[in-house]
Amino acid sequence: MSAPLAGVRVLELGAYTTGPLAARYLSNLGAEIVKVEPLKGESVRHFAYKVDGVSYIFHVHNVNKRGVAIDSSGDRGRNLIYELVRKSDVLIENFAYGRMQSWGLGYDDLKLLNPGLIYCSLSGFGHNGPYREMRAFDTVIQGMAGVMSLTGTADFPPTKIGVSSADNVGAATGAMAITAALNYKRRTGKGQHINISMHDVQGWLSSAAWPWLDTPEGAGRDGNHHPAVAPQNLYETRDGLLAVEVETQTHLDAVTDLLGLARCELAQSKSRESEFDTAFTAWAAERTTGDAENDCRANGIPAGRVQGMGEIAENAHTWARDMLLELEHPTSGPLKLLGSPFKSTRSPGVVKSTAPDIGQHTRDVLSELLGYDKEMLDALSKSGVIGGP
């Protein structure tokens, strides 16, 4: 079968991560993405670690997309975008609040052209509220949403999550909201404005800790422990670090049996945390990570090693799940890229083409969607409205 969002057209006006990533997720689900960039390309093309002058991260974020280069600062370029909007189901943008409106590309402008348009804005703080004008990157959001205050230990300053949590989880939220809105549109024909705030989303992430706010211990940084259940921690083995996580009574019984300790109810386990940690530390210190992992699993205890980028890249499971894969770029050769997390019996997730060069598909897209002929395209190109070969 075709992928679930086959036939859905998404216009992406984004830069850096959140917008482009949300669009990539939709492409993994089968949507067609037209990425609109300024003539000099979007900002992330110039980021560190380059392949033939183009940032590697641009390649990671922009698989499956067709690239169109348009100078939207003038009327002719803007009108081209208006025409593309008429032909699209979804628009994704992640500019600072007010930027799109200043270009005549705000939701109120575009819904007049296409009432069925699903217009998704992904921004640091959303399009309303007192902070909407604030500029933000990932770590600013993690800091202001309480996430850093919950990460690490009390001995150190608040700590960010090593991966870009605000960017990525914001993008996933956009992808889920858009697929929801597509269902509504299919039923009613109506589009709408989706107003996602990365700050909302990181604050929502922290909600598991909200109940502890009103307790004497409060909600703070407690390393690798779980606030209500034990044991959960990292233990040093002879050659690495083992993570152990108890979630259910069955897991807890397996732990106490393995360590030769008295059984107890899951709800009481937290009060015995240091006892469990001491016993597990001694147990793990005598084993290699591999042996400890196997012993735990054989006994029904959830456990796993701490893997860095190198171990993940070498783990056969990562490749078996197609979460890392290699695509052949037409000029830069083979590139290792991220796969699709969306796997179902009717569609394994779409990863079909490498990221576009600047304006690589300008002519294809404008002729296919808008019916422009060569003469018109030459004229637009000559006057600097569009870019690409």
Partner 1 sequence: MTPEGCIDGTLVIELADGWSAGSVTGRLLSELGARVVKLEPSDGDRLRHIGPQTTEDSSATFNILNCNKESLALDLRSERGRRTLADLTSQADILITDRTTTEDRAADLDLDVFGTSNSRLIHCHFSPFGRSGPLAEHSGGDFIAQAMGGVIATTGHPGELPHKAGPPLAVHNAALMGGASILAALFERVESGEGTTIDMALYDSIVSLLYTFIPGYFLSGKAPGPQGNQHPMAAPWDNYPTQDGWIIICMADDRQWRNFLDLIGRNDLAEDPRYMTNDERVTDDIRPEVNQLVIDFLADKSTEEALEVLTQGQVPAGPIYSLAELLEDPQFLARDMVRMFEDDKGHPFRTPGSIFKMSETPGRVYRRAPTLDEHVEIDL
Contact flag: residue 16 with partner 1 (CB under 8 A) = yes
Contact flag: residue 56 with partner 1 (CB under 8 A) = yes
Side chain identity at 120, as an amino acid letter?
Answer: C
Given the rule CB under 8 A, which of 80-88, 277-285, 303-311, 372-380 is the region that contacts partner 1? 303-311
How far apart are the C-alpha atoms of 227 and 206, rounded to whole Å? 13
Give the residue with the Cβ less far from partner 1, 264 or 370.
264
Give the residue with the Cβ less far from partner 1, 224 or 367.
224
Count CB-CB contacts under 10 A for residue 122: 27
Q: How far is CA 266 from CA 86, 153, 203, 222, 335, in A?
A: 57, 24, 28, 19, 47
Contact flag: residue 336 with partner 1 (CB under 8 A) = yes
User: For residue 56, what are its two tokens?
Assistant: 């590697």
Q: Are 352 and 360 in contact (CB under 8 A)?
A: no
Give the residue with the Cβ less far from partner 1, 284 or 337.
337
First-to-last CA distance in the chain?
34
Q: Are 159 and 223 in contact (CB under 8 A)?
A: no
User: For residue 359, what are its two tokens?
Assistant: 């304006």
CA 234 from chain centre, in angstroms, equals 26
Give the residue with the Cβ less far from partner 1, 76 or 227.
227
Residue from the set 207, 331, 371, 373 that interacts with partner 1 by CB under 8 A: 207
User: Does residue 222 carry a catalytic annotation?
Assistant: no
The least distance separating partner 1 from the CB of residue 95, rounded to whole angstroms, comes to 13
Contact flag: residue 316 with partner 1 (CB under 8 A) = yes
Tell me the three state secondary structure of residue 289: helix
HSE-CB of 188 using CA atoms within 13 angstroms: 13
Given the rule CB under 8 A, which of 64-72, 209-217, 271-279, 372-380 is the region that contacts partner 1? 209-217
The least distance separating partner 1 from the CB of residue 366, rounded to whole angstroms, comes to 28
Give the residue with the Cβ less far from partner 1, 261 or 298.
298
Residues numbered 168-197 forming contacts with partner 1, rule: CB under 8 A: 168-169, 172-173, 175-184, 186, 188, 190-197
Given the rule CB under 8 A, which of 64-72, 145-153, 355-363, 369-377 is the region that contacts partner 1? 145-153
Count CB-CB contacts under 10 A for residue 170: 29
- Candidate list 167, 222, 239, 277, residue with the active-site label: 167
The footprint of partner 1 on this chain (CB under 8 A) covers a number of residues equal to: 155
Residue from the set 11, 70, 105, 229 that interacts with partner 1 by CB under 8 A: 229
Tell me the three state secondary structure of residue 333: strand
Residues numbered 63-102 forming contacts with partner 1, rule: CB under 8 A: none
Given the rule CB under 8 A, which of 78-86, 154-162, 359-367, 371-379 is the region that contacts partner 1? 154-162
Closest C-alpha to 118, from 94, 85, 84:
85
How far apart are the C-alpha atoms of 301 and 252, rounded to whole Å? 8
How far apart are the C-alpha atoms of 89 and 31, rounded to whole Å? 10
Closest C-alpha to 240, from 187, 305, 291:
305
Contact flag: residue 147 with partner 1 (CB under 8 A) = yes
* Strand-strand pairing, 118-123 and 192-197: parallel
Given the rule CB under 8 A, which of 276-284, 335-343, 365-373, 376-384 is the region that contacts partner 1? 335-343
Residues numbered 344-383 forming contacts with partner 1, rule: CB under 8 A: 344-347
Give the residue with the Cβ less far from partner 1, 176 or 376.
176
- Phi, psi values for residue 265, rounded to 5°: -70, 145
Residue from the set 18, 72, 164, 354 that interacts with partner 1 by CB under 8 A: 164
Residues numbered 232-291 forming contacts with partner 1, rule: CB under 8 A: 232, 234, 241, 243, 245, 247-251, 266-267, 270
How far apart are the C-alpha atoms of 273 and 268, rounded to whole Å? 10
The least distance separating partner 1 from the CB of residue 54, rounded to whole angstroms, comes to 11
User: For residue 187, what are its two tokens?
Assistant: 């039923």
Catalytic positions, written as ranges: 167
